[in-house]
C-alpha cells in the first residue's frame, strides 16, 4: 500500500516548482491529483504536470486553470476533485515573490502580493474545508516561507503575506479540528524554483556560494525536499498533527 492510496488532492500552483514537486510525489504515493495553476506549462520546461502524472504513474490527474485571486474559481477545482471521489487533501501553494524596497512599494504592488499569497490561501482553504466538513475530514496544507517566521527587510510585503499564512493556519487548525480537518503550514527556505518575476536576473555563483554557506546542510533545497513533508502531512502518518509549522530549509533558520 502506498501512503496516499485512495486520496484525492488539489494542488494550487501545481504546474511548476514546489507545487509540481508535491503533485508528482502525491501521485507516486497513489493519490489522484487536481493540478491548478494560471498556466499549464511548467516554467522549468517538460510535460505539464497532469500529463506527466498520467504517463508515469497509476494515478489519475487533471488540470484546472485557476486564478487564486478569484474565490469563486476554487469551485471548479473542488468539482474536478469530486470526479475522483472528493477532495481529501488541499495544498495552497500558489504564490509570488519579488525583492523590493519598502519605501517604494505602492498600494497596488502590496495588494497584489496579498491577493495571491494570502487571499488565495484563505479562500482555497475555505472552499476545500466546506467539502471536507461534509465528507468527514481532510488535510489542508498551506505553503508559507521561512520569511514568514523571521521576516526579511528585502521582501517586506512577501514576508508579511507569509507570516499571515502561518497564523491563519493555526487559526484554521483550531476552528476546524472538531470537524476532522487538519491544517498545517510548511515553511520552505532556499528552494530551487522559478518563483521570481519573469526576466529577473539569475543568481550569480558568488551569491549562490554566500547563500549555501548559511545552510548547515550545505545545499539549496529541491522541490522534492518540500514534497516529502507534504506527503507526510497528507497521509495518516500525521493523523494527530495539526496547527504545526514545519520548516524545510536545511537548518538555515535554526541558527540565525
Which residues does residue 138 pair with via DSSP β-bridges, in sequence order? 181
Identify the CA nearest to 164 among candidates 139, 187, 183, 144. Answer: 144
Residue 221 DSSP label = B
User: Does residue 63 have an active-site annotation?
Assistant: no
Which residues does residue 248 pair with via DSSP β-bridges, in sequence order? 188
Determine the Cα–Cα distance for residues 33 and 24; give it in Å rounded to an integer: 9
How many residues appear in the chain? 256
What is the separation of C-alpha 189 from the centre of its chain, rounded to a whole number of angstroms? 13
Q: Of the residues 26, 122, 155, 158, which is catalytic?
A: 158
- Please answer whether residues 216 and 189 qualify as being in contact, where contact means their C-beta atoms are separated by less than 8 angstroms: no
Residue 164: CB atoms within 10 A of its CB come to 18
Catalytic residue ranges:
158
Amino acid at each position: 500500500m502506498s501512503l496516499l492510496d485512495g486520496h484525492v488532492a488539489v494542488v494550487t500552483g501545481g504546474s511548476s516548482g514546489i507545487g509540481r514537486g508535491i503533485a508528482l510525489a502525491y501521485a507516486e504515493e497513489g493519490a489522484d491529483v487536481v493540478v491548478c495553476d494560471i498556466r499549464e506549462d511548467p516554467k522549468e520546461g517538460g510535460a505539464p504536470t497532469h500529463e506527466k502524472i498520467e504517463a508515469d504513474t497509476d494515478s489519475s490527474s487533471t488540470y484546472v486553470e485557476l486564478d487564486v485571486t478569484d474565490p469563486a474559481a476554487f469551485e471548479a477545482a473542488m468539482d474536478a476533485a469530486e470526479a475522483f471521489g472528493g477532495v481529501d487533501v488541499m495544498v495552497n501553494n500558489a504564490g509570488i515573490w519579488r525583492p523590493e524596497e519598502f519605501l517604494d512599494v505602492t498600494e497596488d504592488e502590496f495588494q497584489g502580493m496579498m491577493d495571491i499569497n494570502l487571499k488565495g490561501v484563505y479562500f482555497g482553504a475555505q472552499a476545500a474545508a466546506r467539502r471536507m466538513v461534509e465528507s468527514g475530514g481532510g488535510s489542508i496544507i498551506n505553503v508559507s516561507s521561512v520569511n514568514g517566521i523571521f521576516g526579511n527587510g528585502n521582501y517586506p510585503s512577501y514576508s508579511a503575506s507569509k507570516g499571515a499564512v502561518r497564523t491563519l493556519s493555526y487559526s484554521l487548525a483550531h476552528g476546524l479540528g472538531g470537524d476532522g480537518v487538519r491544517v498545517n503550514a510548511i515553511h520552505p527556505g532556499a528552494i530551487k524554483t522559478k518563483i521570481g518575476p519573469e526576466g529577473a536576473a539569475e543568481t550569480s555563483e558568488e551569491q549562490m556560494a554566500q547563500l549555501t554557506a548559511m545552510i548547515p546542510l550545505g545545499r539549496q533545497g529541491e522541490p522534492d525536499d518540500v514534497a516529502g513533508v507534504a506527503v507526510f502531512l497528507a497521509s495518516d502518518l500525521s493523523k494527530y498533527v495539526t496547527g504545526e509549522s514545519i520548516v524545510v530549509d536545511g537548518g538555515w533558520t535554526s541558527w540565525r
